[in-house]
Amino acid sequence: MRALADAEQRLAVRVTPGARTEGVAIEDGRVQVKVRAKPEDGRATAAVIDLVAQALGVAVSRVELLRGASSREKLLRLPPEA
């Protein structure tokens, strides 16, 4: 998944809120994140950040939302690799 991030460690993701199952997948060269949470009061966004952090094996606090708080298209900043 890190290979899809740009030089500044920004990763674009497409979100499917209210999905039956949760998961992170790479489809057609894009990161697709499916979460059960509904897009209400930032719950889906928080779930996306949590899933991406789990997939990368980093703390949730290390993944930052740059753009797309109320959109299905989100831009996240990933922590630099150790």
Question: What pLDDT, in 10s, does the model give residues 35-75?
Answer: 999 999 999 999 999 999 999 999 999 999 999 999 999 99
pLDDT at 81 over 90: no
CA distance linking residue 50 with residue 48, whole number of Å: 5
pTM: 0.93
> How many C-alpha atoms does 2 have within 13 Å on its Cβ side?
12
Domain ranges of the chain: 2-77
* Total Cβ atoms within 10 A of residue 76: 23
**The domain at 2-77 falls in which architecture?**
2-Layer Sandwich (3.30)
